[in-house]
């Protein structure tokens, strides 16, 4: 804690904002790591294959029973498509996938903002430190070199702190973003497979089933 206190004193008031940014970044990163860990643990690829295999044989209601209670996000998307297949399978899949992506993107905007704000705060600290140094030079000349050095030190500390927070946010942000893209690709792949099975069995695509009772 003493080290943190020394950094805050050396960096000036801007360091308080940078410390707040670092705390928020750590909180978001921990939250997203926990989210993706849980998401991966809930994956049930066998259930996904079982749902598609059941649909392949035209047993759509049975496919819903296979999907019931599953926490795999792909299975949830497929189940939504199956339920609404006779109205608009594509729209149902897209809506369900969008809901899953929204959950995956939670707090990502916060990290994105911190990546931009932290370096700007560092630059602000640099400017204020240099202003303080020139102010001392203007008032006392070179008679107080320690005061001048303190202003320069503030400029360097805040710049470094801003870059550390930005880099520390950028790396997990890119990691989470790549995971979201991979999940979207997975949902698109299995969603397309479900659409193909439906169109093969209806003959004319989604519109062929309109007008019939759901679950037929």
Q: What is the pLDDT of residue 10?
A: 62
What pLDDT, on a 0 to 100 scale, did the predictor assign at position 1? 43
pLDDT for the residue 207: 41
Q: Give pLDDT tens digits for 164-202.
A: 999 999 999 999 999 999 999 999 999 999 999 999 988
Quote the CA–CA distance of 64 and 74 in Å, as a whole number.
Answer: 13
Give CA separation, 162 vs 1, 99, 166, in Å: 19, 34, 6
Residue 91 has pLDDT above 80, yes or no: yes
Question: What's the pTM?
Answer: 0.80
Q: CA 194 to CA 216: how far, in whole Å?
A: 17
All residues at 6 or more sequence positions from 77 whose CB lies less than 8 Å from its CB, including other chains: 93, 96, 97, 100, 187, 190, 191
- CA dist 141 and 145 (Å) reads 9
Percent above pLDDT 70 for the chain: 78
HSE, CB side, 13 Å, CA atoms: give it for residue 24.
Answer: 19
Do 130 and 151 contact (CB within 8 A), yes or no?
yes
Q: How many CB atoms lie within 10 A of CB 209?
A: 22
Element (H, E) at 123: helix 108-140
Based on its alpha-carbon atoms, the radius of gyration of the chain, rounded to whole angstroms, reads: 27
Average pLDDT, the chain: 84
The CB density around residue 74, as the number of other CB atoms within 10 Å, is 25
Q: Nearest CA to 36 among 75, 90, 73?
A: 73
DSSP state of 1: -
Confidence label for 160 from pLDDT (cuts 50, 70 and 90): confident
């Amino acid at each position: 804690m003493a080290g943190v206190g020394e950094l805050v004193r050396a960096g000036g008031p801007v360091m308080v904002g940078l410390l707040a940014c670092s705390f928020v970044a750590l909180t978001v990163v921990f939250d997203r790591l926990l989210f993706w860990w849980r998401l991966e643990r809930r994956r049930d690829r066998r259930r996904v294959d079982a749902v598609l295999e059941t649909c392949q044989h035209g047993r759509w209601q049975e496919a819903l029973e296979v999907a019931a209670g599953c926490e795999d996000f792909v299975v949830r998307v497929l189940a939504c498509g199956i339920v609404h297949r006779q109205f608009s399978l594509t729209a149902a899949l897209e809506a369900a996938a969008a809901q899953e992506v929204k959950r995956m993107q939670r707090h990502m905007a916060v990290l994105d903002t911190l990546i931009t704000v932290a370096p700007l705060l560092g630059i602000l600290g640099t400017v204020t430190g240099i202003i303080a140094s020139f102010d001392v030079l203007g008032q006392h000349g070179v008679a107080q070199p320690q005061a001048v050095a303190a202003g320069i030190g503030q400029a360097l500390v805040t710049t470094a702190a801003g870059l550390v927070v930005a880099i520390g946010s950028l790396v997990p942000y890119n990691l989470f973003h790549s995971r979201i893209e991979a999940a979207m690709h997975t949902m698109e792949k299995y969603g397309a497979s479900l659409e193909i099975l439906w169109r093969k069995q209806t003959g004319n695509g989604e519109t062929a089933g309109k007008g019939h009772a759901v679950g037929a």
